[in-house]
Amino acid sequence: LSAEVKQHKSKAIVYLFLTGRTGGKSSGSFVSTFTSHQFQSDGEYLEITEISKNQSGIYECSASNDVSKPDVRKVQVTVNYPPVISNTSNTGVPVGQKGILQCEASAVPLAEFEWYKEDRRLFNGLNGVRIESKGKQSKLTFFNVSEEDYGNYTCVAMNKLGNTNASIILYSPGAVRDTSNTVASPLRGSFCLLLTIILQKLLMF
């Protein structure tokens, strides 16, 4: 008994090859147990259409006939998929303190990461930042946050199947964030309040 896995875009075929037939009836079966369902197929191959990443795992192939005990093999099926970013959040850090922006992406093969501020790509060791990428996670570290560091950053995750990105804001803890996820300084908020009071006073005359 031998086994082979072939993948064509969204379809995976697990082939079970039966050899050494010496008479009698031969049959093959596949069983793979997941958290929510079980696959089973009687025959020489198992075909899974529209395969998803949740269907990665070990598939067990069993072949038997009337003259010998069953022969069992296990096949590892790995489903490749493009990056999906999760666990990102805006971060408030005072001037002069250490700040860290984090980006996490699941992907097979593992994603590679790039960081940008506005349209400018950032590189490890330049402009007082460090970029560390390991496994599913990438970190952008500021050792001494300055006013110029505040703003919008983009984390890009990519592999051979595609890419995706997420926006993360580094802001001053004293800043006021509005519903559009942008940051306004306390000075701007105070100015708007002062202008509102002046207009109310004028309307009284």
Instruction: Report the alpha-carbon angle 139-141-146, nearest 5.
Output: 145
Strand partners, 116: 121, 154
DSSP-assigned states of every residue in 89-141 = --EE--TTS-EEEEEEEEEESPPEEEEEETTEEE-TTSTTEEEEEETTEEEEE
Q: What is the C-alpha to C-alpha distance for residues 77 and 159, in angstroms, rounded to an integer?
A: 19
φ/ψ of residue 166, rounded to 5 = -140, 145
Alpha-carbon distances, residue 113 vs 80, 85, 133, 159, 196 (angstroms):
17, 11, 7, 9, 45
Per-residue pLDDT of the chain (205 residues; tens, 9 = 90+): 555 555 555 565 656 555 544 444 444 445 555 444 555 566 666 777 777 888 888 777 777 777 778 888 777 888 899 999 998 999 999 999 999 999 999 999 999 999 999 889 999 988 889 999 999 999 999 999 999 999 999 999 999 999 999 999 999 997 655 434 444 444 344 333 333 333 344 445 5
Q: Answer yes or no: pTM beyond 0.95.
A: no
- Give the tokens for residue 157: 């995750």
Instruction: Report the alpha-carbon angle 163-52-31, nearest 5.
Output: 150
Q: Which residue, 12, 64, 66, is CA-closest to 39?
A: 12
Q: DSSP code of 43?
A: S
Helix (H, G, I), strand (E, B) or coil at 197: helix
Q: Is residue 82 exposed (0-12), middle (13-18) or buried (19+ Cβ within 10 Å)?
A: middle
